[in-house]
Amino acid sequence: MLRKCLIVLPLLLLSVLAEEKDVLELTDDTFESELERHENTLVMFYAPWCGHCKRLKPEYAKAAELLIGNEPPITLAKVDCTEAGKETCNKFSVNGYPTLKIFEGNEFRSDYNGPREAPGIVKYMKSQVGPASKELTSVEAHKAFLETDEVTVIGYFEKDDSPLSAAYHSVSKKLREKVRFGHSSAKNVLDKVSHKNTIVLYRPKILHNKFEDDIVVYKGSDSISDVNEFISKNFYGIAGLRTRDNMQDFKNPLVVAYYNVDYVKNAKGTNYWRNRIIKIAKDFPEYSFAIASKDDFQHELNDFGIDYAKGDKPVILARDAKNQKFVLKDEFSMDTFEAFLKDLQTGALEPYLKSEPIPESNTGNVKIAVAKNFDDIVTNNGKDTLIEFYAPWCGHCKKLAPVYDELGEKLADEDIEIVKFDATANDVPAPYEVRGFPTLYWASKDAKDSPVKYEGGRELDDFIKYIAKHSTDELKGYDRKGKALKPRTDEL
């Protein structure tokens, strides 16, 4: 048994080493000279103890392997900021890990702001190097360029300096990170495809369906805005594939079907449901539609009160233009989906509100607001209000808690409401925005629709001075500077 373990261990070590064999290791001594030898390099500045770095490394190594043989060449490299790369990391102001930067030769070009998964890294880096649009000089090159699972846009121009060509190339530079562009002025290509002086969007075979065109031909003007709108409008089709990398492209009002989306292992099953979504969605053009992997977006399902989506059928969730949330409660079918969309159109659906139960008793000096009682406790209470949006696990929130409680006691006799709201267990209502914890807002009683984010200190005196200064009516116990007033003799 021991011998078997000794044999397996070296094999495992070899496997780990092999994963990073295509990533160039750089040090202070080799950084400049090695980068000079490579056209385009993505450099990861890391620390061995960094958890985010450890999670990124296998994806980074896989991306390096996938980029072998790319034209133009793209190299992936790494620098250990704790050992032999300290000076280099200081030179490039690296103060967090991992930090990724793009170099042309040994010249810094830009920070890397792309995905952190292998396919996304590859796509992003391919979009960053070389021309934004690939020139297709032959029928063979054109055919090879279309052999892809990505949406592709090609411009066909008899003269590559025409106004439409100029607009096309301008748009390609703006959208290069998202869209795969090509262009051709070769006569044999133009004759072969029967397209001249226009732009064509090609959907890959895996996305073909009988409800929308596989090929979309541009029929607009020479303006940059028209070309840009054509690509943006048609890029995802009726129901686009929504991923963590492109999720920001899908705007409200949005309807998303969550299920086992996997175009690598199960393209047929993925399209089975997508086609059914599209068949109904095509009649509701006022909404954006998307399909998404329920495993990748479990956090969104949780936001709609769904802890686990069982079965293979899609779960349908929607947000309207006001960002209100709606859930298809019936099991998915084309009939239930269509009925859901019609009810969504007419405003017949009740929005889903993620909320804790309304507290049975709420008589404390610090009132507890939840999503279901927010209007009563905050919006319509007729008082100036300070609201803390917190998370139970947040260390800063825990530190603030006794100060906040004391503030409630100090102002118990004032026409001021001190309120706390668990933003992890309740939907945060508009117009409040919470992106970190704790977040505090001041909402004066005459302007509840325009709350002001509190940016002051978090000691008791800081809060009292702020409230004394900004309260609609002067406090009974403090002057406008927050100084405690002596009680009148008739109050003694």
CA 200 to the chain's CA centroid: 28
Beta carbons of 434 and 389 less than 8 angstroms apart: yes
Lookup result for tokens 């009516």: 473
Q: Which two tokens stand for residue 295?
A: 């495993």
Beta carbons of 210 and 282 less than 8 angstroms apart: no
Half-sphere exposure of 128 (CA within 13 A, CB side): 23
Q: Which two tokens stand for residue 274?
A: 């997508």
Question: Per the residue annotation, which of 5, 81, 89, 394 is the catalytic one?
Answer: 394
Q: How far is CA 227 from CA 131, 172, 459, in A?
A: 18, 10, 55
d(CA 341, CA 316): 10
**For the chain, first and last CA: distance in Å?**
87
d(CA 357, CA 369): 10
Sign of the C-alpha dihedral computed for residues 6, 9, 14 and 17 taken in this order: negative
Question: Per the residue annotation, which of 5, 81, 89, 397 is the catalytic one?
Answer: 397
Question: Is 5 among the residues known to form the active site?
Answer: no
Question: Is 89 among the residues known to form the active site?
Answer: no
Question: Per the residue annotation, which of 5, 53, 81, 89 is the catalytic one?
Answer: 53
Question: Per the residue annotation, which of 5, 50, 81, 89 is the catalytic one?
Answer: 50
Lookup result for tokens 């500077």: 481
Beta carbons of 134 and 169 less than 8 angstroms apart: no
Of 320, 266, 268, 313, the C-alpha closest to 294 is 313
d(CA 152, CA 55): 31
Question: Is 81 among the residues known to form the active site?
Answer: no
Phi-psi category of 323—alpha, beta or left, where left has phi over 0 and alpha has psi -120 to 50? Answer: left
Beta carbons of 418 and 411 less than 8 angstroms apart: yes
**Those residues with Cβ within 8 angstroms of residue 295's Cβ, 6 or more apart along the chain or in another chain:** 260
Q: Which two tokens stand for residue 123?
A: 């796509």
Catalytic residues: 50, 53, 394, 397
